[in-house]
Amino acid sequence: MTASDATRIAINLWLDIIQYHRQGDSLGEIERWLTDKRSKSNRDYWEQYPRRCYRFRAGTEKPGKKFIDRVESKVPGTKRVIQHPLWWVLDNPEPNLESVHQQMRELEPNVYRRLFQKSPKHGPSPRRTLRTPFQIGNIGRISNLDALAGLLLLLRETELSNQQGYNLECQEQILELLERLSSFSPYNAIAEPLSELIIERFLKPDPVSKNASPTKAADIQRKAFENALTIRAAMQQGYISSSPQDQLDFLYRLQLERSRYKPPDPQFDLFPIRLCSYTSEPCRSKQHRQVDSNSRAVQVRQYTQLRALDGFAHCTGHT
């Protein structure tokens, strides 16, 4: 893949967000809306309009600063998307340490303070020292483009400092974040090219696990599809709301539980008992909160877990 692929992904995501804002309007309708040419007759407009948005989508032309600013005035937040530090990171997979830290400082405050000792308002700050894998996971939990850029930069930093253990943890967190983001609009539209680019340029096979198969974009897409089904089942059971951020956080906790808890039966891996106890109403009551050894509490958790599995099976057509 060529260096221009990152820019093309950025433009496609930018256009997808505009279309989402316009409730699915065609690119021609969006261009007419952006250029304020509704005073022209339909026939005149459609015969003469420059089709710039279609050229953006095809990758034959890039939007200029004025066009980006015009979109930003109508759809706030889009300028940050198309000029996001992530695209620089994707086009520069092997920067030096100074460039890594410079790009880290461009990330949103929520990610910045997990990477540096002080907040951006205090000026330049030294990097936080990595002490536990939890620090890396805490960045991925934010589940947005800044978190993805932060993890990729952190991955490069571990390569330069030869921190092999943290390097593998970064790679794992990047894959899990891609799986979560790929489950939601508008990121699902760019999931495949974005995953392919990151796998090709950043993710190295584990030298210890020589027999392990390399991760492919199709694997991430399959996991994203499973995530979407899991979210649907969890919403049917009332575990989570319709808020995308709540759902992303739920998936993060689910992935965290799967990495900690190895169930005897694979079917119970979908909704681990401990995760259900955090989110289900029966297990929130005081009488069950601190009685893990009590048989009644175990029965409640098992019942909750089976209800979740039943809802999942129903929504996927297995019952």
Do 137 and 98 belong to one domain? yes
Looking at the domain assignment, is residue 245 inside a domain? yes
Do 105 and 198 belong to one domain? yes
Question: Across all residues in the chain, what is the average pLDDT?
Answer: 79
Distance, CA of 244 to chain centre: 11
Least reliable range by pLDDT among 45-59, 149-163, 187-201, 285-299: 285-299
Per-residue buried b or exposed e for 290-303, using 16+ beta carbons within 10 Å of the residue's own CB: eeeeeeebeebbee
Mean pLDDT, residues 246-256 taken together: 89
At residue 261 the predicted structure's pLDDT band, cuts being 50, 70 and 90, is low
The pLDDT value recorded for residue 273 is 40
3-state secondary structure 138-196: HHHCCCCHHHHHHHHHHHHHHHHCCCHHHHHHHHHHHHHHHHHHCCCCCHHHCHHHHHH
At residue 7 the predicted structure's pLDDT band, cuts being 50, 70 and 90, is very high
- Number of domains the chain contains: 3
Mean pLDDT, residues 66-82 taken together: 95
Do 137 and 236 belong to one domain? no
pLDDT (tens digit, 9 = 90+) per residue, 147-195? 999 999 999 999 998 888 899 999 999 999 999 999 998 899 999 999 9
Evaluate whether 109 touches 119 at the Cβ level (below 8 Å).
yes
At residue 210 the predicted structure's pLDDT band, cuts being 50, 70 and 90, is low
Domain end call among 79, 95, 121: 79
**What CA–CA distance (Å, rounded) separates 144 from 128?**
21
In terms of average pLDDT, the best of 119-123, 130-134, 182-186, 258-262 is 182-186
Do 227 and 278 belong to one domain? yes
Do 99 and 165 belong to one domain? yes
- Residue 273 CB contacts under 8 Å (≥ 6 apart), including other chains: 261, 301, 302, 305
Looking at the domain assignment, is residue 255 inside a domain? yes
Looking at the domain assignment, is residue 147 inside a domain? yes
- Residue 317 CB contacts under 8 Å (≥ 6 apart), including other chains: none
Mean pLDDT, residues 96-118 taken together: 92
At residue 207 the predicted structure's pLDDT band, cuts being 50, 70 and 90, is low
DSSP codes, the chain: --THHHHHHHHHHHHHHHHHHTTT--HHHHHHHHHT-TTS-HHHHHHH---HHHHHHHTS----HHHHHHHHHHSTTHHHHHT-HHHHHHH-SS--HHHHHHHHTTS-HHHHHHHBSS-GGG-S-PBPPP--HHHHHHHHTT-SHHHHHHHHHHHHHHHHTT-HHHHHHHHHHHHHHHHHHTTSTTGGGTHHHHHHHHHHHTPPPPSS-TTSPPP-HHHHHHHHHHHHHHHHHHHHTTSS-S-HHHHHHHHHHHHHHHHH---SSGGGGSS-HHHHHHH-SGGGSHHHHT-TTSHHHHHHHHHHHHHHHHHHHHHTT--
- Give percent of the chain above pLDDT 70: 72
Residue 34 belongs to what domain range? Answer: 4-79
The pLDDT value recorded for residue 277 is 39
Do 264 and 233 belong to one domain? yes
The pLDDT value recorded for residue 94 is 92
**pTM of this structure:** 0.78
Domain end call among 79, 96, 131: 79
Answer whether residue 292 shows pLDDT above 90.
no
